[in-house]
Amino acid sequence: MKDRLSKLSVLVVSYKYDLREDNDLIELSKDEDMLKIWSTIPGLGVKLALANPEENEYGGVYLFEDAPSLESFLASPLLKEWAEHPDVSELKFKKYQVLPGFTQKTIKPDYISGDFINDLAPKN
């Protein structure tokens, strides 16, 4: 059986966001109801939220347990609703697979701790 790292699927999302005084994306990201949505997406292990305010670029790196989980997310209404949000433009996303051997060998020792890396490590 393949280890979890080899099944990991990555989604990279980027978009422009119309920031205004009454429309702060950082404040929106603190909304508890919105955060609960992200924590209940099946197969989503980690979402790294990205911000480049100088260039008005935002997005995320999503780590899914496997390709079917990523595809289910893409088919869900969540991404479609975000694309239709009036303050969002230039929404783009790309799917990637992880190169498990190379990735495992490039993780700096003790950089990430806990079960996250241990669970992804190949089982010998």
Min mean pLDDT across 14-18, 31-35, 55-59 is at 31-35
The answer to whether 58 and 25 are in contact (CB under 8 A) is yes
pTM for the predicted model, two decimal places: 0.79
H helices of 29-76, in order, are 32-39, 67-75
Which fold would CATH assign to domain 4-102?
A: Alpha-Beta Plaits (3.30.70)
For residue 89 the two structure tokens come to: 């433009």
Strand, coil or helix: 40: coil
Per-residue confidence at 105, pLDDT binned at 50, 70, 90?
Answer: confident
